[in-house]
Amino acid sequence: MRRISAALVAAALVTGCSAGTSSAPQTREVTLVTHDSFTVKEGLFDEFKQATGITVKPIASGDAGELTNKLVLTKANPLGDVAFGVDSTFASRALAEGVFAEYSSPEAAKGAQRYQVDGTNRLHAVDVGDVCLNIDPAKLGGAEPASYEDLTDPKFKDKLVVENPATSSPGLAFLLGTIAKFGENGWQEYWGKLKANGVKVVSGWEEAYNQEFSATKGTRPIVVSYASSPSAEGGKTKAVLGTCYRQVEYAGVLTGAKNSADAQKVLDFLLGEKFQAQVAEQMYVYPSREGVALPESWAKDAPLPTNPQSLPADKVKDNREAWVEQWRELVLG
């Protein structure tokens, strides 16, 4: 048993080393560093390879925050050539650290530029996703909230569950939405009212949605989730479009990419028609490109919110920690 194991380890080490040294320059391979939620329609990258000769190799690297931090840590010797998944909350940090290189993609003018962070063409919007309240109409008996203010109404007492903004990205987005809505001086008062009205706080989306939300297993009919979530629930739930906060997910060519020219082609592909057409189905987000049709069930159950809240990336970067700390004291303290 032990001898077999040792032999296997030795074999594995040998193949590992040989794989490492055989990365010949002729192979046109582009490493795409992504967040964990990245998925792509089967065969799409194969089509891309047939058309361009470029092999795309995705590497998942945590959620948006983890990904950004990993990119910053490895900027001297990046993990790949292109990165996708840095979102509007973390974009400022990535730009300040010089993680991304400038590149004007010809595809960016087709809609992605609507969401650009600054004028430097380093980050390109690939998709947008909105964090909104989701409700379970069956359990609300006709009384449905339509705005942030409605949640403080006594008829929604003990009905809302939110995620902790310190440990959850939708939780943070919801907090930022209330800050955008009520201003830096008004949000604390609003959260005081939510607390008085029995808001429940859990640490992550999984608990909130799978355990507390009445449409799944819990008892609370209002939950912080995504605008797209109802499309997965067959019309049983609804997003409250007056309570949305927009998150944009960006991609860019990494500074110090080993294969810059091909990396730019991959970026064009991410912004192009074919890739954009499948982001809704694959990642539960909305394409950044204009004129891309949403899946049928989305048009009915999960339309893109028209007037979401948002905050400038710089402001989020500078105040995030303080806001979360104040929120912690106010709501949990």
Partner 1 sequence: MARAGAGLRSPGGLVTARTGWSAAALLPLAFLGLFFAWPVLAIVSLGLREGGVTSALVAGETWELVGFTLGQAAASTVVAVLAGLPVAFVLARCRIRGLGLVRAAVMVPFVLPTVVVGLAFRTFWPDGGVLPIVLANAFFNVAVVARTVGGLWAHTDRRAEDAARALGASRPRAFLSVVLPALAPAVGSAAAVVFLFCATSFGVVLVLGGSRYRTLETEIYLRTVELFDLSGAAALSLVQFAAVVAVLVLGALARRRRETALSLRGREELARRPSDGEWYVVGAAAVVVVALLAPVAGLVTRSLSTRDGWSFAGYAALATRGDRGTLAVTGIDAALNSVRTAFDATAVALVVGVFSAVVLVGLRRSGGRFAEVLDTALMLPLGVSAVTVGFGYLVTMDALPGDFRTSPLLVPLAQALVVTPLIVRMVLPVLRAVDERLRQAAATLGASPARVWREVDLPLVGRSLVAAAGFGYVVALGEFGATSFLARPESPTLPIVIARLMSRPGELNSQMAYAACALLMVVTVGCVLLIERLRVPSSGEF
Residues lying near partner 1 in the complex (CB under 8 A): 1-2, 5-6, 8-9, 12-13, 16-17, 19-21, 23, 31, 34, 36-39, 41-42, 58-60, 62-63, 65-66, 68-70, 72-74, 77, 79, 93, 164, 166-167, 201-207, 209-211, 216, 225-226, 229, 232-233, 281-282, 284, 321, 328, 332
Q: How far is the CB of 158 from partner 1 (least distance, A)?
A: 12
User: Considering the complex, what minimum distance in angstroms separates the CB of residue 316 from partner 1?
Assistant: 13
Least separation in angstroms between CB 31 and partner 1:
8
Least spacing, CB of residue 299 vs partner 1, in Å: 16
Q: Which is nearer to partner 1, 15 or 120 (CB)?
A: 15
> What is the Cα–Cα distance from 197 to 111, expressed in whole angstroms?
41
Q: How far is the CB of 169 from partner 1 (least distance, A)?
A: 9
Q: Positive or negative, the Cα torsion across 61, 67, 69, 72?
A: positive
Least distance between partner 1 and beta carbon 201 (Å): 5
Relative to beta strand 286-287, strand 124-135 is antiparallel
Q: Rounded CA gap, 79 and 307, in Å?
A: 37
Sign of CA dihedral 19, 22, 23, 27: negative
CB 151 within 8 A of CB 213: no
Which residue's CB is nearer to partner 1, number 114 or number 157? Answer: 157
- Of 113 and 297, which has the nearer Cβ to partner 1? 297
Q: Which long-range contacts (CB under 8 A, 24 or more apart) does 63-70 make?
A: 63/35, 63/36, 63/37, 63/169, 64/35, 64/89, 64/90, 64/169, 64/249, 65/89, 65/90, 65/169, 66/35, 67/33, 67/34, 67/35, 68/93, 68/94, 68/99, 70/33
Q: Which is nearer to partner 1, 107 or 136 (CB)?
A: 136
Choice between 124 and 220, CB closer to partner 1: 220
| Shorter beta-carbon distance to partner 1: residue 57 or 193 | 57
